[in-house]
Amino acid sequence: MIQPDLDLFGPAPQQLAAHTVLLPGFAVAQTEPLLDALRPVLRAAPWRHMLTPGGRSMAVALSNCGALGWVSDERGYRYSALDPQSGAPWPALPPVLLALASAAAAQAGFEGFVPDACLINHYLPGTGLSLHQDRDEQDFSQPIVSISLGLPAVFLFGGLQRSDRPQRIALNHGDILVWGGEDRLRFHGVMPVKPGVHPRLGERRINLTLRKAG
């Protein structure tokens, strides 16, 4: 007999806000194809610590793939078609990443999401990301799809005011968070990653955020 409560397909999506959905484990089965796709991307556009507009080195290391990449320096934040480190275009968005992001967005109610930028963040234990809004993209009607790999993190999901008390959301390996609509400009951040060793990725957390930037 089939138990009605037996969860054959993994944990159910969680609606965290009007237009924010957590898809637990959505990317787990794609871990190896994703890592295989990221390896050449990171060879062409290696991790780097960008400068904040205040001139300080960011704790999170980052890279990009896609037609546009997010860059930060003393002049500010912006999207650029070229990697400032190499002067070359960013590596292309791997098809596996594009397909996964579109599938996750559709699952969360955003049909036809076609990202043109993927920001890749690398966290060592002890590294976090302070509260911020993602507002450098041209079109806020498009969602952001965020894929977490490796060590778990506590995501701070705030409101539209910096002072709004954030919800704390656990993001584990393979989880995908999709948000858009009226939640698109919420403040958010990441608590410092706790020390640990992930069985596949070791002592790191990698987060991929796919956006329609241009």
Sites of contact with Fe ion (CB under 5 A): 134
**Within positions 18 to 47, which residues make up the interface with ligand MD6, using CB under 6 A?**
none
Question: Do 124 and 193 meet the contact criterion of CB atoms below 8 Å apart?
Answer: yes
Q: H-type helices in the chain, by residue range?
A: 31-44, 95-107
CB of 123 to ligand MD6, least distance (A): 7
**Within positions 99 to 128, which residues make up the interface with ligand MD6, using CB under 6 A?**
121
- The CA-atom distances, in angstroms, between 34 and each of 61, 89, 98, 108, 156 are 19, 21, 11, 21, 25
CB-wise, 63 or 207, nearer to ligand MD6? 207
- Say whether residue 210 binds ligand MD6 (CB under 6 A): no
Residue listed under structure tokens 């596949």:
200
- Say whether residue 209 binds ligand MD6 (CB under 6 A): yes
CB atoms within 10 A of CB 15: 12
Element (H, E) at 1: none
CB-wise, 89 or 159, nearer to Fe ion? 159
CB-wise, 30 or 207, nearer to ligand MD6? 207
Sites of contact with ligand MD6 (CB under 6 A): 121, 129, 134, 144, 146, 155, 177, 179, 188, 190, 207, 209
